[in-house]
Amino acid sequence: MDQLDELLQPHLDTVLARNPGEQEFHQAVREVLESLGPVVRRHPDYLHQAVIERICEPERQLIFRVPWVDDQGRVQINRAFRVEFNSALGPYKGGLRFHPSVYLGIVKFLGFEQVFKNALTGMPIGGGKGGSDFDPKGRSDAEVMRFCQSLMTELYRHLGEHTDVPAGDIGVGGREIGYLFGQYKRITNRYESGVLTGKGLAYGGSQVRTEATGYGTVFFTEEMLATRGTSLSGRRVVVSGSGNVAIYAAQKAAALGAHVVACSDSSGYVIDEDGLDVDLLRQVKEVDRGRVSDYAAQRPRAEFVTGGRVWDVACEVALPCATQNELDDAAARRLVEQGVVAVAEGANMPCTPDAVRVFQEAGVLFAPGKAANAGGVATSALEMQQNASRDSWGFAETEEKLRRIMVGVHERCAHAADDYGLPGNYVAGANISSFLQVAESMLALGVV
């Protein structure tokens, strides 16, 4: 990764001073600004018009309490957030995360990343993100419903298909989206199916939305490998996580001929040299809501490991699909020593800056999350299109649209990297391409 240009250091200093303690947000801003030195030197007007300051400051930040009653009749209080970061390209678009780790800094980091990720898709959507420190693990369906209804009772006034369109993220799947949409419909007395994405197919959802982030990550990986005249076929692949993104990344990689041998969750990781049985993994995680140890118990040759990390498993392609900063420089060096040739971030910022540096210095193909995992939000935008036209597309048609979008994301990243003398640097390419699109739109709209 590049050093920060002296022209941009004051802007980073301002972000650090105005947002104390928000380490994830600081990291995300630094990662983008480190790519933009050549851009602001070629386009000094971006500095004169304070585009950097404006793009780093959310347009709106919402924080509110969420009171609800658990199954024992006790009143519980959670805190919720929605950061509407930038609407220069379209309505705010980005998921809701339910996890105890959620606080304002994480939501701002995710929202900032979302602005650039959404721009890379070429779709007319701005960036935002939200969530709560509520933990759905161990909660009954009735408790999750009461929490979602309480959250939406406050959040609904800030949403709309032309204003802000949330989706799911960690801890927010089809169940939660259903409860949220039901309460929105109840309060507003309007069936605005385009106000939330990730909905069930029965009430306005899109084919491929469930699979989209994982599939898109694999499509991007295939495009990167193709630049070196190779593919996923026959490659040994390790995926971190075992949630939605990891499951469908493993499924699509296997469909393209890869041998996917490991996945993980917070309890440990599993190695299955026969190749992951994605149907069983999906049953264990999405239906039974179990652990990867439960998967291993049902596969005779699978091994469940509690110590170490999934990145100890040798592979040629690594797909980190769990959470932010899960893959550090030590893990990166181990992967390089074991012959990794490509790494694509299925999660948001799962590789630390030092890990990214290790991969780039070793000549490993590296795709940042804002590019590699853009397939989820891209298919959310396709869902919005279908809702707006009262239409519904088949699985194959929607998957092909997703594939073409990811090919376009790769082309934008590669072209921008080449244009600024950084061929093969997908981090710089993704940051530069997306920044240029957002910045030009912001200038066109005036100081707003």
Annotated binding-site positions for substrate: 93, 114, 117, 168, 380
Phi and psi (nearest 5°) for 405? -65, -45
Q: Report the C-alpha dihedral over residues 136, 85, 190, 196, rounded to 10 degrees.
A: -50
Phi-psi domain of 421 (left: phi exceeds 0; alpha: psi -120 through 50; beta: other): left
Please give the span between the terminal C-alpha atoms of the chain, in angstroms, as a whole number: 32
Strands (E) in 203-244, as ranges, are 236-240
Catalytic residue among 129, 185, 199, 370: 129
- Element (H or E) spanning 81, and its range? strand 75-86
Q: Which of 434, 412, 427 is nearest to 367 (CA)?
A: 427
| DSSP character at residue 203 | G
Active site residue 129: yes
Residues annotated within a binding site for NAD(+): 213, 244
CA distance 97 to 131: 4
Secondary structure class of 14 (helix, strand, coil) = helix
Secondary structure class of 47 (helix, strand, coil) = helix
* Residues 6 or more apart in contact with residue 4 via CB below 8 angstroms: 12, 30, 33, 34, 37
Residues annotated within a binding site: 93, 114, 117, 168, 213, 244, 380
- Enumerate the active-site residues: 129
